[in-house]
A and B are shown apart, each in its own frame.
Chain A
């Protein structure tokens, strides 16, 4: 067997990684499929057929406006993925840059970045989203910005900690001795060596972002109608709890599966990429 084959085989035997990959793939595939096809239109109101029980035409029934629940769930995956990807992207772009700067420059730059990230933790994502909404009004973009800002210090800390370890290694010393500058070393030696740590953190932050988006949309501060989102589906279902309780089940299961998949994927990758950690588990 080739080296790649061995690696893939080992990865697939890792239970967390395999389940996590499967669930995450399912999330992405459902979102992709919903771009091209859903059983019914998630925007089509059909009031005579409202609150129907699950049946052949509507596998998961219809909601209070007669919309097909399965179609809403499928399209809802889009909102979760968009918010997750962009918010984690914002956090990663700024956070990794700040963390790498702190590690390369040390001294006051490091102190500044660390104090900034301490400070940013005083504002949980929900709180910054609420401030943004108070000024700019509710919306998906504001939710993305708020969750993105919250992610910056997370990536800054992880990057700094792992980059500091690389800066102490002999090959970096050799690069410095040969006259390479800090930027050069960061791009050529430090960042490639900490990519795995950042990707693992990114996966876990993705899961956190999905949870935050759902919470904000549940409060009416995130994704706005008519764009379907799991959080808002739950808010609407709560008003129907005494007549159609199962409406409050499906969107929650969707959120939990998506988050579970990403968390397992992150944990699995961490194990596979850093064999030293495996013994402690």
Chain B
């Protein structure tokens, strides 16, 4: 087990390092002169020079990279150029919206997809199965931001049950905050649930055909018991792989959906930072999102080992 863990952990750290190098190269080396980008093309030279010194851009790239990563490791993310506040505080504030949003969406995705996928697999070839597969095919084709707009049209414009967007903040109480996140979470979850339901269905169908399931049924186990005790655990491996990928899609999706619902989350922060040419915020926030994706995939790798002990045995 420890060898397996150690190898996965090394890959995880290496990927994070790689990601930080890519982000640094893309946002600090490629633009040529970030100070020029940030102060705009028509800024007077002394303003640019001033900013360059303030940002430490006169130092060699390698030194800047290590200063940046060193700062990140100590929780110092630098000072935002546009907001003049520490980037760490800005991001922490925005994460209070993005993280709950992604988690609610993932929870909705998982519950809906497993229920629909299992149901469809049990009714293989019958009306329920065909119906669910047809609807899920449609669900995959719908852009999440458009579904968000449709939800606003129905629930805010037509029925006027909720506001068309915005976020009251957690200070106003948990329920109003969750209410504001519910429609965006549904918009995010629908597409992902459609994909995951199809994966769940085919994984369950695949396992149902295995000899050990037939043996279990021959021993007198009911269909339902065989499903819960034998099929589900074996069908989970592909399902969890896709769930890992989906969480990264959800995180990326929050960037778009937060803009649909005017939610002050990380995605909107990145987006505003681009308009403000605040490269410091873009750099930190993009790396944070990438790191979250890498971390989720690391957790998925660990989950494999929990679900399928054979994987551990292979590695040792």
Give chain A's interface residues, CB within 8 Å of chain B.
115, 118-119, 121-127, 130-135, 207, 211, 214-215, 218-219, 221, 231, 234, 237-238, 241-242, 245, 248-249, 251-252, 255-257, 259-260, 263-264, 280-281
Tell me if A134 and B293 are in contact (CB < 8 A).
no
| Bitwise interface map of B from 285 to 304 toward A, beta carbon under 8 Å scored 1, else 0 | 01001100110010000000
Tell me if A245 and B153 are in contact (CB < 8 A).
yes
Tell me if B37 and A242 are in contact (CB < 8 A).
no
Tell me if A219 and B259 are in contact (CB < 8 A).
yes
**Can you spell out 8 A-B residue pairs with CB atoms less than 8 angstroms apart?**
A118-B297, A122-B297, A124-B293, A127-B252, A134-B282, A215-B144, A219-B255, A256-B141
- The 5 A-B residue pairs whose C-beta atoms are closest, nearest first, are A124-B252, A252-B146, A260-B141, A259-B141, A126-B252
- Residues on A with C-beta less than 8 A from B253 are 126
Q: Which of A130, A134, A211, A231 has the most CB of B within 10 A?
A: A134
Which residue of A is nearest B295, CB measured? Answer: A122
Which residue of B is nearest A118, CB measured? Answer: B15
Bound-complex Cα distance A275 to B270 (A): 46
CB distance from A201 to the nearest CB of B (A): 15
Bound-complex Cα distance A259 to B158 (A): 28
- Residues on B with C-beta less than 8 A from A123 are 19, 22, 290, 293
Tell me if A218 and B206 are in contact (CB < 8 A).
no
Which residue of B is nearest A132, CB measured? Answer: B26
Tell me if B143 and A211 are in contact (CB < 8 A).
yes
- Residues on B with C-beta less than 8 A from A260 are 137-138, 140-141
Tell me if A121 and B256 are in contact (CB < 8 A).
no
Bound-complex Cα distance A151 to B153 (A): 33
Knowing A123-B22, A259-B141, A263-B140, the reply to whether A241 touches B37 (Cβ < 8 A) is no
Tell me if A256 and B142 are in contact (CB < 8 A).
yes
Instruction: Tell which of B18, B252, B279 touches A134, judged by Cβ atoms closer than 8 Å.
Output: B279
Which size bracket describes the interface of B in this complex? 35 or more
Give chain B's interface residues, CB within 8 Å of chain A.
11, 15, 18-19, 22-23, 26-27, 30-31, 37, 137-138, 140-146, 149-150, 152-153, 157-158, 164, 202, 205-206, 245, 248-249, 251-253, 255-256, 259-260, 270-271, 273-274, 277, 279, 282, 286, 289-290, 293-294, 297
Bound-complex Cα distance A131 to B34 (A): 13
Instruction: Tell which of A115, A131, A256, A280 touches B146, judged by Cβ atoms closer than 8 Å.
Output: A256
- Residues on B with C-beta less than 8 A from A219 are 255-256, 259, 271
- Residues on A with C-beta less than 8 A from B256 are 126, 215, 218-219
Tell me if B26 and A241 are in contact (CB < 8 A).
no
Which residue of B is nearest A251, CB measured? Answer: B146
- Residues on B with C-beta less than 8 A from A215 are 143-145, 256
Bound-complex Cα distance A238 to B31 (A): 33
Tell me if A133 and B274 are in contact (CB < 8 A).
yes
Tell me if A264 and B274 are in contact (CB < 8 A).
no
Tell me if A126 and B31 are in contact (CB < 8 A).
no
Tell me if A119 and B18 are in contact (CB < 8 A).
yes
Knowing A126-B252, A241-B153, the reply to whether A234 touches B145 (Cβ < 8 A) is yes
- Residues on A with C-beta less than 8 A from B23 are 131
Tell me if B143 and A252 are in contact (CB < 8 A).
yes
- Residues on A with C-beta less than 8 A from B19 are 119, 122-123
Tell me if B141 and A242 are in contact (CB < 8 A).
no
CB distance from B210 to the nearest CB of A (A): 13
Bound-complex Cα distance A71 to B18 (A): 46
Which residue of A is nearest B145, CB measured? Answer: A218
Bound-complex Cα distance A125 to B152 (A): 26
Tell me if A122 and B290 are in contact (CB < 8 A).
yes
Instruction: Tell which of B27, B137, B149, B153 touches A135, judged by Cβ atoms closer than 8 Å.
Output: B27
Tell me if A241 and B146 are in contact (CB < 8 A).
no
Bound-complex Cα distance A119 to B144 (A): 25
Knowing A133-B274, A241-B153, the reply to whether A234 touches B146 (Cβ < 8 A) is yes
Bound-complex Cα distance A221 to B267 (A): 14
- Residues on A with C-beta less than 8 A from B150 are 248-249, 252
- Residues on A with C-beta less than 8 A from B286 are 127, 130-131
Q: Which of B27, B31, B140, B146 has the most CB of A within 10 A?
A: B146
Which residue of B is nearest A130, CB measured? Answer: B270
Instruction: Tell which of A124, A125, A135, A255 touches B30, judged by Cβ atoms closer than 8 Å.
Output: A135
CB distance from A185 to the nearest CB of B (A): 30
Bound-complex Cα distance A6 to B273 (A): 58
Bound-complex Cα distance A259 to B142 (A): 8
Tell me if B27 and A241 are in contact (CB < 8 A).
no
Tell me if A241 and B290 are in contact (CB < 8 A).
no
